[in-house]
Structure 1
């Protein structure tokens, strides 16, 4: 990513940070939505305390659910304003977590290894998503879990200003499950895909576009 593109993307998400949690599945303010994500995360992640890297963590809503479940969380986001809100969310809840400002496609965590790498609604925003998938897989311990919550959005194209800032995105508007499976399969021992579009509690409303999770063992 060029410096100009990275600056444009960072500025986009910095501006979005203030209202980011207004979306039901971002802020998780409603009890049923929060409970739905808590249940799903418990199904996707290994039992017991795990070291989790939440890439593109945003305001830290999923990170907080993970911390509440006893996991050790490191969140990374390019937007300093998103990270500020994530830290404040943890402080307000009396939870411990580490949040870093940096490129989610290549997190600034050095040689650390994790049990889980989690990304939600991130890969479509990346100029080179396949390289990011390789990077994340390389940060997992043997037998680690890659959890990718993604979709192909009905509103594809509505974020034209973001796409313009980032130049051409391979998966602009989201990524279909088949395409993501093809990219992850060479990196994984096993993987599965679960449809998430039929659970309105996850999104705070019924949805008609493609939404799913890909869970892979690396």
Structure 2
């Protein structure tokens, strides 16, 4: 898609199309980054982090929302869980299928809108997401959907950050996660920040308050989880503090 078409999308207030366009352009480089992350020390750190937050039980049914190139889906599938990964961007799903096959696991991947899930009520033991909610035009609706498809006593894990309030990555020297992103794409990313209401929220407190209004028995926030995983200033590094939200659906 050319720049003029992107601008039309923006002017016509079609944020999902504009956001999907951004991630389609980023998909090849993003998949390469996730592939490298799977074979880095970040894999073990993420593995430890996620597994300690899951409910007890083997062969859990897990929905990875906004799965991108399948990083979380692959980790969880390697531990024997039934994983479904969804993403709005078709090229991301294509990359996730390739990467999962290379890693010898078979999650199910499909294209789907995180705000409008095509699953029955109470279908999953776990709903997990990473770096997605900051891109959503209607995050409250998304949370409602995520809780709908979660089983009673199921766990929702959301890893995200206030990226719109700390736009330092394009100004960093040395290695970082946005090191290979073009100026055009960084500008498009910044436009996404400014077009979404969630960018104005005080997070993750806003998320916690929204979730506590739903069918949640407990909801806790760890504001420093990113510091435990991205310790080095390398190709995966982003300085914005990543937080974890863990909510349990009322039984």
Output the TM-score relative to the length of structure 1. Answer: 0.86
User: What RMSD over aligned residues (CA atoms) do the two structures have, in Å?
Assistant: 2.7
Q: Against the structure 1 CA distance between its residues 50 and 160, is the aligned structure 2 distance closer, same or farther, given a 3 Å change threshold? A: same
Match of 1:171 among 178, 195, 198: 198
1:19-38 aligned within 5 A = 19-23=29-33, 27-38=36-47
Segments of structure 2 that go 5 or more residues without pairing to the other structure are 1-11, 171-185
CA distance in 2, matches of 1:149, 1:202: 16
- The answer to which of 186-195 and 56-65 deviates more is 186-195
**SS state at 2:207 partner:** helix
Retained in 1: the 8 A contact 2:137–2:196? Answer: yes
1:1-218 aligned within 5 A = 4-23=14-33, 27-47=36-56, 48-111=58-121, 113-153=123-163, 154-155=166-167, 159-162=186-189, 164=191, 168-172=195-199, 176-187=203-214, 188-194=216-222, 195-201=224-230, 205=234, 208-218=239-249
Q: Against the structure 1 CA distance between its residues 173 and 124, is the aligned structure 2 distance closer, same or farther, given a 3 Å change threshold? A: farther
Cα deviation, residue 189, structure 1: 0.6
Q: Against the structure 1 CA distance between its residues 156 and 107, is the aligned structure 2 distance closer, same or farther, given a 3 Å change threshold? A: farther
Residues 2-47 of structure 1 deviation map (CA, whole Å, 9 limit, x = unaligned): 89433222221111101114547x8524431010000011011123
CA distance in 1, matches of 2:25, 2:32: 14
Which of 1 and 2 has greater Rg? 2
CA distance in 1, matches of 2:200, 2:233: 20
Cα deviation, residue 174, structure 1: 8.2
Q: How many residues align?
A: 216
Q: Against the structure 1 CA distance between its residues 152 and 7, is the aligned structure 2 distance closer, same or farther, given a 3 Å change threshold? A: closer
Cα deviation, residue 67, structure 1: 0.2
Output the TM-score relative to the length of structure 2. Answer: 0.76
Segments of structure 1 that go 5 or more residues without pairing to the other structure are none
Q: Against the structure 1 CA distance between its residues 20 and 216, is the aligned structure 2 distance closer, same or farther, given a 3 Å change threshold? A: same
